[in-house]
Structure formats: structure tokens, C-alpha cells
Structure 1
């Protein structure tokens, strides 16, 4: 284990609490409230701003932009493209969650348009979505990945090189890379798959960490470690999905740099 990398990841958690980054979220309606609450509990400031007439100027005020393609309606699509353009102009980091891109061709059109006129610093998706974007065969069912993770890191690296950004693929193991440095995280609990929006909440946390620190690779690692370790702690206190969802928010709030360092199961490559 690279202790300096882990120490940096823990410090980014502290930076989030110190700086309270403003995370501008254009996300799906199923989990918008969960994303807002988990950001607040993490120490960040959420803004769920998606009106086309407002997003360009609002991005200028933000620490990061989080775009989630889950339930995109036309105004969200137009707003996300305009917001990403503003982010490029004003050098605001952008996190993209390409929800259901392997199942809905329209999502790919939106992603391509964002890259044409804006920018993306981090792509965070499940393993099936990431493998699909990397041009590999993937096993998905709607918004869910049924992929076993074989070849996931290689797909992340290929996609990172293709788009020159950090890529994270989540599943039973989580794979993160910037094309040169990589990490494999084995923290977490299957209970995270029993509540709606765990992946969306994680994407929002990636916005918080990337808004707090310029090291987007380590920032993404920090967000994933935070979610997974909080999930493990929540599972100790809850035996069903309903109570787990509440405890997850509590455990994100209670997460410390020490807990993040001590509870980590990570391999650096």
C-alpha cells in the first residue's frame, strides 16, 4: 500500500470539510434529494440547479459540476451541455455519471456533445457502463451492471486515454485510473445495491472531492473510499434497506480522516 497516496486521500476529506465546496448538480429526479443530503452530510454545499437560463452563470460560482444522465428530460440535456461549456470556460471540474449509456443510445449523443463543447474531468459509472464506453462487451440490465468485473481496469485505462480524464468503474470491486496511476478498492457492502441512488450519491461525492482538490485521481479515490467505508459502518447498524439508507447519511457525516485511513482495503498500481 502506498501510504502517501492514502494520506493524501484522507487529507482531501479534510479539505472538503474545510472548504465546503459548492457542487452544482444536474441529476436525475429519482435521487436528487439523496444527492443533496449526502453532500450536506459530507461537508459540501449542494445546488440542484438545472434551469437552462441559469446554469451558465451558476457554474461560475461553483466548485464543481456533477452531471447525471439518469432520467434526462430535454431541458436537462440542454442545461447540461450549456453548463459543461461554462465549466470549460471557467475551469470548473466536471464529473459525469453516464447512467444507462449501454442501454439508451441517446445518452452517447449527449456525452459526445458535452465533449465537443465542454469538458469532463471524471467519468464515474458502473463496470458495465465503463466497459461499454471503452468499446468492450458489457453485461447490463437497464441502469444496472451484471458484469463480473473481468477486464474492468483495462477498460478504465483505455477510456481514460481516449478522453484524457479520470475514470472510475464501480462494482464488487471499484477501479479508478487517470491512465497512469490506478487503484482497486475492495471496501463496501452489497447493501449499497439495495437502496436506490447509491451510485448517484457517489457521483455527487466525487463532485465534492474534485471541487476541493486539484488532484482529480486521488479525489475520486477519496469519494469512493468514503462511500464504501460509510456503507460498511452503516451495515453494522442496520439490517434492512430502509434503515441502512438513513444510517448511510449518518455515517458519511461521522466519517473521519482516521476512519478512512484505517478502514481502507486498497491496492495502488
Structure 2
């Protein structure tokens, strides 16, 4: 493992806690509370601001914008597009979670509009969603990916080069790339799939990390690794979904640079 890369990944955790980035979240109603709480435990400051009349001005006060398309309604759609426009004008990093884009065509229309008038710095989705956006066949069931992950890295690289952004595909293995350099993370636990919104929480953490670090690739790797290692730690104590969900947030709070470096299972490409 490249120790200098891993050192930078671990250092991002301290950068988040030192800078306490304000993460402007336009996210889905199923997991909004969990996203806010995990951001607080990570060391960031969450703001769940989605009113159309407020988002343009609020984005410029923020360290990052996180847009999650999970329960997209008309006001959220218009707010996300306007917020991303403001992010482009004010050079605020944008993390997009394209929830259910492979199942609902409307989501793709919104993504294309954001790319047209705003910007996206990181696309973080499950493997099925990323494969779909890359123009490949994917196996999904609603918001969940049933894909095995074969060819996922190649799809991430193609999508990253197409949109000139960081792309992360999460699953049994997590694939992150900037189009040139890539990381494959093999940490985590199956219990993360038994908790609603674990992917949304990862997206929020990516927003915090990108709001604290100039290196968006390393930041994204760090956020996803943090979630996975916290999941492993939580599962040692809580082996059922309800208690695991609570302990997961505790374990994010208790993370350290040393724990990330000791526990990381990362292959660099």
C-alpha cells in the first residue's frame, strides 16, 4: 500500500474536524436526520436547506453542497438545480448522489440539467447507478444495486473522464477514481445494507471531506473509508440493525487517523 496516499487519506479526517465545514444538504426525507447526525459526529456542520427561495444565497456561505435525489419532488428539483448553479458561480464543491437513477428516468433529466447550468465535483452512487450513468447495463431493484461489481472500476473511470469529476461506486468493494488514479476499498460490513440510508450518509460525509480538502479524490476515499471502518467497529458491538445504526454514528465520532491507517484495506491503481 502507498503509505503517502494513506497518510493523506487519514489526514482528511483531522482537516474536517479542524475546519468544521458547513455542508449544505438537499437530501431525501427518509434519511435526512441520519445525514445530519453523522455529519455532526464526523466533525462537520450540517444544514438541511432546500427551500427554493433560500438555496442560492445559502450555498455561497457553505463549504460544500450535497445533493441527493432519493425522494425528489418539484421544489427539491428546482432547488438542487439553482443551488448547483450558485455552487458553480461561487466555486463551492458539489457532491451528487444519483439515487435510483437507473430505475427512474426523471432523475437523469435532473442530473443533465445540473451538469448544464451548474457543476458536479463528485458523483457517489452504488455500483448499479454508476454503471447505468456510464451507459452500461446494470442490475438494480429500486434504490438498491444487485450488481456484482464486475467492470465497475472501468465504468467509474469512463464516467469520471466524461464529466471531469471524481466518481465513486459503492458496494461489496468500493471504487473511487479521478479518471487517472483509482482506489479500491475492501473494508465494510454487510450490516451497512440493513440500515436505511447508509449510502446517503456516505454521500454526506463526502460533502464534508470535500468541503475541508482541496484534493477531492483523497477526500472521497477518506469519507468512504471512514464509513466502512466505523461500520466494522459498530458491528463488533451491535449485531442487529437498530442498535447498529446508533453505534455507527458513535463510531464515526470515535474515529482517529491512526484507526483509519491501521484498518484500511485499500488497493491503489
Scaled by the length of structure 2, the TM-score of the pair is 1.00
1:5 equivalent in structure 2? 5
> Shift in Å at residue 29 of structure 1?
0.1
CA shift at 1:64, angstroms? 0.1
Q: Could you tell me how far apart the structure 2 residues matched to 1:78 and 1:111 are?
A: 12
CA distance in 1, matches of 2:118, 2:237: 42
Aligned to 1:250: 250
2: distance between equivalents of 1:6 and 1:21?
Answer: 22
Aligned counterpart, 2:147: 147
Report how far residue 167 of structure 1 moved. Answer: 0.1
Instruction: Find the counterpart in structure 1 of residue 65 from structure 2.
Output: 65
- Map residues 1-269 of structure 1 onto 2, 5 A cutoff: 1-269=1-269
2: CA distance, partners of 1:268 / 1:122: 19
CA distance in structure 1 between the partners assigned to 2:91 and 2:220 by the alignment: 18
1:218 CA displacement: 0.3
SS in 2 for 1:50: coil
Q: Deviations over 1:25-54 (max 9, x none)?
A: 000000000000000000000000000000
Q: CA deviation at 1:68?
A: 0.1
List, as ranges, runs of 4+ consecutive aligned residues in structure 1 with deviation greater than 6 Å.
Answer: none
- For 2:28 and 2:209, the matched residues in 1 are separated by 20
The CA deviation string for residues 81-135 of structure 1, in whole angstroms up to 9 with x for no partner, is 0000000000000000000000000000000000000000000000000000000
* TM-score of the two chains, using structure 1 as the length reference: 1.00
C-alpha distance in structure 1 between counterparts of 2:72 and 2:12, whole Å = 31
Tell me the secondary structure at the aligned position of residue 112 of structure 1. Answer: helix
Query: Equivalents in 2 of 1:190, 1:94: separation in Å?
Result: 28
- Give distance in 2, aligned partners of 1:263 and 1:59: 35
Shift of 1:239: 1.4
For residue 251 of structure 1, report the CA deviation from its aligned partner. Answer: 0.1
Q: Which runs of 5+ in 2 are unaligned?
A: none
Any idea what SS the aligned residue of 2:60 has? helix
Structure 1 position 11, deviation (Å) = 0.6
Could you tell me how far apart the structure 2 residues matched to 1:162 and 1:2 are? Answer: 27
Equivalenced residue count is 269
